[in-house]
Amino acid sequence: MPAGQVAFTTPATATPWQRWMVFSPMGRIFFFGALCFVLFKLVSVSVAAIGLVGPGVSPLSRAIGILAMELISSLVAYAVLVKAIERRPLRELALRDMFTLGLAGLLAGALLISLVVFVLWLAGSYHVTGTNPEVNWLPAVLLTGIGAGVFEEILTRGILFRTLEEGLGTWWALAISALFFGAAHIFNPGATLWSSLAIAIEAGILLALLYHVTRSLWPCIGLHAAWNVMQGTVYGIPVSGTAAHGWLVSNCTGPDWLSGGVFGAEASVVALIVCSSCSALLLIVAVRRGSIVPPSWRRASSTV
């Protein structure tokens, strides 16, 4: 296992209660969740007070307000966890990687969803019926792109996958974080058990492996954001059950297993195959590098 694959290890001087309550994966997950929740509530009160959210506000104003809640709460809580609890550099969000790995993620996300839509078009499922050049695209880009990309990737890959991998190893962290990501979408409009399972496999596993291989959140954020924006704002396909108004006016026909139904392309078997193929390639890279992290108790026994 290459050095640096595990970002944090419990200090040797930690007391037993610190090992369980502060430095354990569950302790750090709980700390982040609690701090993020408090910050989210505080920011929500602030944006409401200045009139960014609430009855009668414009879609753009509402999007800016919600984006502020998501970005401030998640980024500040994560930075506090890393700097105050783990006491290490914030390497996975290094600004220098935003313009390299982040842009690579944006390109990968745009190409992946475009390939999915192209296959659906070839199969006679995706139909363009017109264009809407005056569509109000900015709120969707802010919320389903930047907001979802940053907030969900910090929570699911930066917190859940990373900390569980340090304790339980890569395989368990991969399975648990993917299932969590799928379950988090179960209450979306039009969601089914199949759609949640599909998202868990195609996106939950792909994004976790992308983080595992790069050890950066920027490509995950970029891929996630580009997929959502291209799917909804460009191709006009619902994003995880949320109705989309895109530059292309479109509809999908055929059986739900092919088209994704009202939930969108994530519930399509095409997306499942395309994303799972990418996951397989990333897994091959991880195995060949020898970067699969064993559980902490196996790592401890191997050093004795």
pLDDT tens across 118-134, in order?
Answer: 999 999 999 999 999 99
φ/ψ (deg, to 5) at 208: -65, -40
Q: Within the chain, how many helices (H) and strands (E) appear?
A: 15, 2
Q: What angle do CA 206, 212, 213 make, to 5 degrees?
A: 90
For residue 244, is pLDDT > 80? yes
Nearest C-alpha neighbor of 28 from the set 78, 95, 65, 71:
78
CB 91 within 8 A of CB 7: yes
Contact 144, 242 (CB under 8 A): yes
Distance, in Å, from the CA atom of 211 to the CA atom of 220, rounded to the nearest integer, reads: 7
Tell me which H or E stretch contains 127. strand 126-131
Both tokens assigned to 194: 């199949």
Torsion 229-230-231-235 (CA) sign = positive
Q: Are 147 and 134 in contact (CB under 8 A)?
A: no
DSSP label of 242: B
Q: How much is the mean pLDDT over the chain?
A: 94
pLDDT in tens, 174-231: 999 999 999 999 999 999 999 999 999 999 999 999 999 999 999 999 999 999 999 9
Q: Is the pLDDT of residue 277 over 70?
A: yes
- Six token digits for residue 222: 């970029």
One-letter amino acid for residue 70 of the chain: E
Please tell me the chain's helix, strand, coil percentages from 3-state DSSP, rounded to the nearest 5: 70, 5, 25
Query: How far apart (Å, rounded) are the C-alpha atoms in residues 69 and 196?
Result: 25
* Per-residue exposure over 63-82, b if at least 16 CB sit within 10 Å of its own CB, e if not: bbbbbbbbbbbbbebbeebb
pLDDT tens-digit profile of 44-93?
A: 999 999 999 988 899 999 999 999 999 999 999 999 999 999 999 999 99
**218-229 and 101-122 helices, crossing angle to 10°:** 30
8-state DSSP, 87: -
Name the residue ranges covered by the structural domains of the chain.
93-302
